[in-house]
Structure 1
Amino acid sequence: MLWAAAGDPNPVLPHTSEIIVGLVAFLLLLFVIRKFVTPRFEKIYEERTEKIEGGLQRAEAAQAEANRLLEQYQTQLAEAKTEAARIRDDARADAEGIRNDVLAQAREESERIIAAGRDALAAERATLVRELRAEIGTLSVELASRIIGESLADEARRAGTVERFLSDLESAEQESPNGGAATAGAR
Structure 2
Amino acid sequence: MLTELVIAAEPGEDVNPLIPAWYDIVYSIIPFALVLLLFWKVVLPRMQKMLDERAAKIEGGIEQAESAQAEAKVALEKYNAMLAEARAEAAKIREQARVDGGAILAELKEQASSEAARITATAQAQIEAERQAALVSLRSEVGSLAIDLASGVMGESLADDKKATALVDRFLADLEKSETAAK
TM-score (norm 2): 0.82
AA partner of residue 74 (structure 2) = R
Q: Distance in 2 between matches of 1:151 and 1:129?
A: 25
Q: Is 2:86 the partner of 1:98?
A: no
Match in the other structure for 2:45: 39
Q: Is 2:182 the partner of 1:181?
A: yes
Number of paired residues? 174
Superposed CA deviations along residues 75-105 of structure 1, whole A, max 9, x for unmatched, are: 1111010000000111111111111111111
Q: 1:149 aligns with which of 149, 155, 171?
A: 155
Superposed CA deviations along residues 47-73 of structure 1, whole A, max 9, x for unmatched, are: 211221222222111111111111111
Q: Which consecutive unaligned segments of at least 5 residues does structure 2 have? A: none
The alpha carbon displacement at 1:169 in A equals 3.7
Match in the other structure for 2:120: 114
Q: Which has the higher contact order (CA 8 A, sep 6+)?
A: 2
Q: 1:60 aligns with which of 50, 58, 66?
A: 66
Q: Is 2:88 the partner of 1:76?
A: no
Fraction of identical pairs, as percent = 42
TM-score (norm 1): 0.81
Q: Which consecutive unaligned segments of at least 5 residues does structure 1 have? A: 183-187
AA partner of residue 48 (structure 1) = R
AA partner of residue 101 (structure 2) = A
Once superposed, what is the RMSD of the aligned Cα atoms?
A: 2.7
